[in-house]
Structure 1
Amino acid sequence: MTAQPLTAKHRIESIDILRGLIMLIMAIDHTRDFFHAGHPEPTDLAVTTPLLFFTRWITHFCAPIFVFLSGVSAYLAGTRRTKSQFSAFLIKRGLWLLAIEFLVVRLAQTGDPFFHTIIFQVIWAIGGSMVLLGLLVWAPLTVICIIGALIFFGHDILYLVNVGAVGNTFLWKLLLSGRGFGDVWVIDSDHIMIMAYALLPWTGVMLLGYVFGTLYKKDADAAKRRKTLLNWGLGLLALFVVLRYFNFYGDPAPWSSQKTASLSIISFFNVSKYPPSLLYLCMTLGAALIALSQTETVKNKLTDILVIYGNVPMFYYLCHWYLLLITFISLYLGSGYHLNQFDPKTGQPPASFGYGLGGVYLVWLIAIIILYFPCRWYSKYKRAHTQWWLSYL
């Protein structure tokens, strides 16, 4: 099958602007993982600070927006293909992303060529969701919308019921309840799996992104699209505030008043990402929809730069991991440390290695500046060529 478009591509730059922005923000969190001295947990109220929490909190927006926009882009890709071509494309691309996640990304994250740790993260969530979407595209759009909405708004019901022993099974954790990097499944004495991203809640996000993709059809009314995006964005944020304030539904970790006002604010916004709670998704995607509605007619030097990154998200994603890995190894060894000083249980370097948040942000800034140039080159290359593999990278 060729991935060459059957009709001319139709791009709305607000999508690339938002995607480019979250790609840059995402790298802050990964830079912190590599370089923050001592690796304090940003969401632990006992040790966090406002700046540390904010550094983590702003990156909460990345995965939901990335998955949602993948759904939007999937819908637009479907307008250039027959139904059978589209279904096959999504399934193939989803399987390709799974291979990328477990081989290419994992090597960059751990530097371990023997893959002792397998982590189900965001690319797994996108790839797995894309496979499921590839099977669902034969259904009417209304059915896809209903399924997506039921998952999106209803999956937190699982926290209110007792599922018994089923809740401890591998499949249940992988599909529904994986609780992040502390949810470990032992394969053997040398290999483990970490269910960081439970698949089905993220699939709900992609399905709704696919439905919202209808707003971006060529014949869609732009003013009506912006109004719809704004109203839905405001609605999701309002739902977040109401449900969060009353601790009624939507997150397994209720907020509470703390000893200081700043910690109380942190508690309020400290919603659950693993798996993504309804309130987490309302907070992040509500803001995303508002951003999409407000940036569609904006064009300046900053948006031009963001579009470069947003045009090539997977290329940027892979490059940034390997750039951070190479930078980490260079600075680590250059500081006089040795590889045998890593903690064998956590895989972390000595607590004495690393920098404060100022140093983390400096490394991040240098990294994204460096990445601008290969991203600009690849963006130009994609616009000038139509090889089949360009749809997969």
Structure 2
Amino acid sequence: MLLIPDDQRRTRLARRHRLAAPAGSVVEATRAMTCLHATEPASVHLAAFARCRASVAEIDQALYEDRSVVKQLAMRRTVFAFPRELLPAVWGSAAARVAVQQRKRLAGDVEKAGITRDGPRWVEETTAAVLAALHEQGPMTTTELRAALPALEARIVVSPGKTYGGEFPIAPRVLTTLAASGSIVRGDNDGGWKTSRPRWTVATDWVDVGPPLTEAAGYAALVTSWLRTFGPGTETDLTWWLGATKSAVRRALAEVEAVEVRLAQGTGWVLPDDLDDEEPVDPWAALLPALDPTTMGWKERAFYLGDHAERLFDANGNGGPTAWWDGRIVGGWTQREDGSVVVVPAEPLDATAMRALDAEAESLTEWLGGDVVKSIYQSPLARAAG
């Protein structure tokens, strides 16, 4: 069995994630990563800048004018920005799985809240009403939909007594269910690049990409793309990243004829045409945002994270802003009140590494132009640095 050592995995990461050499466009950078995380609206822009040095206007153009990159709720009930052509695969597999889960939970919660005795029927009628309103009146924000449809004004109590529980409005839950199903998408944004106020839009009005693929074809397409971006990766990595079952992952690996390879710890998988080594790259530096797809691409992260997990990830496994040197996470970064970016090392770094990271900080500071990005996923390391 072919051995792919950790240094080769880091070289692959450098080249394929467009961190050692920039991509030529926003959509090229997105395709290189399979998708960009979009849980926080600013993360798409920061991740794209790190890989292609695009301006905010160029990134917005890709998202809202060209629509070559589209935001979609998918794996692990997380919002991602996908290259448009990958949407049918996502809709038929990872997003469909989330949609079924969300519809069932919503039906149960509205029954528990006393809103209805027939949860499934309420969900069916309410989601149909939202779609009808969007068809008739065009794209609307959540606030506008709530004003148009009184059923969306309801509130429900979820997980009482839990730290994450409380009383929540029903509208986001309904829209999440529809978004996961691929019926609606986040259209243009009624706010700045750091805010999330999407105008919900009927998916077929926003992009014309055809119907969803079958579940098997969808997972095969996603696994192919993931292996091209992140391979070699383990079955555990893929199962976690896709939010899927092991059986679904194993079927997809068989479908794409993935090849098993040895890793420094255990075994992983690559595509059958991806067995050759990548040529070495020069040392490189990068500052990546919270939940960046490189940081979050694997579940088993030792080959690039080392022993920094507790300082750079929160208790739920969410990675904060990270500083990279030559294929490894070596720290984080934060911003001062004036918007300037500051590198926070997690280990001793030599002068060459610090100069390169400081240069990245200067470049990012200039690009931000005084804007301060306040991520809720700030790492413990950065929080301690103030």
More strand by share: 2
Higher relative contact order (CA 8 A, sep 6+): 1
TM bucket, shorter chain: under 0.3
**What TM-score do the two structures reach when normalised by structure 1?**
0.24
**What TM-score do the two structures reach when normalised by structure 2?**
0.25
More helix by share: 1
